[in-house]
Structure 1
Amino acid sequence: MGHPREPREPHHPYEPHEPHEGLRARSRRGTMGERWWSRRFIDILETICDKGRLSRGRTYARSGRVLELDIAPGHVAARVQGSRPEPYGVDIRIEAYGDGDWEVLTEALAARALYRAKLLAGEMPPEIELVFGDCGLPLFPDEQGLEMECSCPDWGFPCKHLSAVLYLLAERFDDDPFLVLAWRGMPKQSLLDDLREVSDDVPFGERLSTFYEAGTSLARLRHQPSRVSAPADILLRTLDPPAVKARHIPITDLLRPAYRRLIDPRNPGEPSP
């Protein structure tokens, strides 16, 4: 996926320090990603990418240095203002699935009435990742499925320009979960049209017996292999946090050490990221 480590990009005396007028991340501190699908994407990045460069990328994302960000099937193109006057070009690529693959995926999603209903209502059910996995077509890219390039001279990987774009991409996913599917090659409206067509073909009375069934058996869930080890507090990241505080501290921040101790009783917990 990456390049061998080389010296960092040298500092240039004309590097601008004033605020930039590009795209700005909404998050002002900590990590990014508010919904389960964007957090899943960020968790993968933080597993396979250098944390120091990702941290500098967050700073770039928050300071308006990403000037453009365009998402197309299998491709993200962006321009990022770095230390030189000319912005750097960033390209991020994954596999966009073809019509045959999407036909299989759409049939698998439509076969579960509850998933289909949630998608038609504009929701992204967490179980959708299992459906993709069962079809042998991962929803999110891993290290082998993510190709990234930047025109900057920094050979460290990923550079801060790439990292900034990745974090802003996660916030785009926050705004519209169907962008995750569009990046894989299926526009939102096309998917919804296909799901409605399948729904119209099957009388509702014939779907009552399976409407509330789980999409994956409990035995299958117990033996589902994990492609990327999930953080101990993944449930807290996935669910919308309750508006509850104790001594002005959000309840989710207080629960994270307990979740970590459940995974490893020897772990006394660590500060929330």
Structure 2
Amino acid sequence: MARRGWDDRWQQYPASKPLPADGIATSKQRGAMADNWWSERFVTMLAGYGLGGRMQRGRRYARSGQVLSVEVNPGMLVAQVQGSRRTPYAVTVRCDEPTAKSWAALEAILASQVRFAAGLLAGEVPPELESACADAGFALFPDTWADLRATCSCPDWENPCKHIAAVLYVFADQLDDDPWLLLEWHGRGRDELLAFLRHGVTEPAARSDGLPPWWPLVPGRLGVRSGPLHLRVAPPPDPAHRVLARLGELGIEAAGTSVDALLAAAYEPIVTADPTDP
């Protein structure tokens, strides 16, 4: 009887409330927690773990600013969350970093399709990037909770606790504005990946006389003889289908005609041009 009475009193004990905090409140205070497809995919992933009330409490923490900081490192999120105790709780969320072989495979895919580079340079995540990562041997989004390894210094034995959940929701909110954070979490920062994407763009070699490489095209300057310019368009080294394949299917129509077909038709005269014709 005494045991049952103690359990009853414990069940009636009021739940602890977090101390007020002025941390990183999510930009979505009501409704959906994400706007763009990649952050929505991350939020859907969290909901799909089937963790119930802990994720709901985590959303409330995320919206009320209980998460004080989130630092994104290769393979690990490091955060502080204000709970009911004066000292904030320390939270870490780890994911497996892709191997060097996987990154090399992904970079080869990115280099083969111009639209990947164009989307990333524009600050967006191409929808095909998820399948490209899978082809390279790793998951862009963790499939199950077992794919993550999370810790929190709070006394709650549940994992994830509401503090861990809050950090993940804040991270999803930040992905809306900065999708590069997702790749940085996997081990490739923005600068490093941009350097690779831009590697194929080379500047013309400098002239031995110190003049810029385009100077012969400007007539009448510094002794350069003016006169008519004769330009020839040489066929590209790659067949048309290979060049257009790098661009990928655009899925756009103009006046009822596929833009891909228009590009192929416009490219054909260049491919068949005779470089010896004046």
TM-score, normalization by structure 2: 0.67
Asked whether the equivalents of residues 18 and 82 of structure 2 are also in contact (C-alpha less than 8 Å), the reply is: no
The reply to whether residue 213 of structure 1 matches residue 248 of structure 2 is: yes
Q: Distance in 1 between matches of 2:39 and 2:192?
A: 22
Equivalent residue letter for 2:72: I
Q: Distance in 2 between matches of 1:22 and 1:11?
A: 25
Residues 164, 73 of structure 1: alpha-carbon distance in 2 compared, 3 angstrom cutoff: same
Task: Quote the sequence identity (%).
Answer: 42
Taking the TM superposition and a 5 Å limit, the aligned residue runs for 1:65-144 are 65-143=66-144, 144=146
Measured after TM superposition, the shift of residue 72 of structure 1 is 0.4
Equivalent residue letter for 1:83: S
Tell me the alpha carbon deviations over residues 88-136 of structure 1, each in whole angstroms, 9 at most, x when there is no partner: 1111000122433212211111111222222233321111111111122
Consecutive aligned runs of 4 or more in structure 1 exceeding 4 Å deviation? 10-13
Q: Distance in 2 between matches of 1:135 and 1:204?
A: 30
Q: Distance in 2 between matches of 1:116 and 1:129?
A: 14
The reply to whether residue 193 of structure 1 matches residue 195 of structure 2 is: yes
Measured after TM superposition, the shift of residue 30 of structure 1 is 2.5
Residues 57, 170 of structure 1: alpha-carbon distance in 2 compared, 3 angstrom cutoff: same
What corresponds to 2:268 in structure 1?
none
Q: CA RMSD in A?
A: 2.7
Tell me the alpha carbon deviations over residues 136-159 of structure 1, each in whole angstroms, 9 at most, x when there is no partner: 211111223211111111122321
Task: Indicate the structure (1 or 2) with the bigger Cα radius of gyration.
Answer: 2
User: How many residues align structurally?
Assistant: 205
Residues 164, 16 of structure 1: alpha-carbon distance in 2 compared, 3 angstrom cutoff: closer
What corresponds to 1:166 in structure 2?
168
Show structure 1 runs of 5+ residues with no match.
1-6, 216-273
Asked whether the equivalents of residues 33 and 170 of structure 1 are also in contact (C-alpha less than 8 Å), the reply is: yes
What corresponds to 1:157 in structure 2?
159
Provide the secondary structure at the position in 2 that maps to 1:163.
Answer: helix
Q: Distance in 1 between matches of 2:69 and 2:121?
A: 30
TM-score, normalization by structure 1: 0.68
Equivalent residue letter for 2:248: E
What corresponds to 1:256 in structure 2?
none
Tell me the alpha carbon deviations over residues 40-94 of structure 1, each in whole angstroms, 9 at most, x when there is no partner: 1111111114121111111111112111211100100111111122211111000
Show structure 2 runs of 5+ residues with no match.
1-9, 204-234, 251-278
Measured after TM superposition, the shift of residue 167 of structure 1 is 0.4
The structure, 1 or 2, with the larger RCO (C-alpha pairs under 8 Å, 6+ apart) is: 1
Q: Distance in 2 between matches of 1:73 and 1:63?
A: 27
Asked whether the equivalents of residues 111 and 117 of structure 2 are also in contact (C-alpha less than 8 Å), the reply is: yes
Asked whether the equivalents of residues 49 and 157 of structure 1 are also in contact (C-alpha less than 8 Å), the reply is: no
Q: Distance in 1 between matches of 2:171 and 2:202?
A: 34
Equivalent residue letter for 1:210: A
Q: Distance in 1 between matches of 2:24 and 2:118?
A: 34
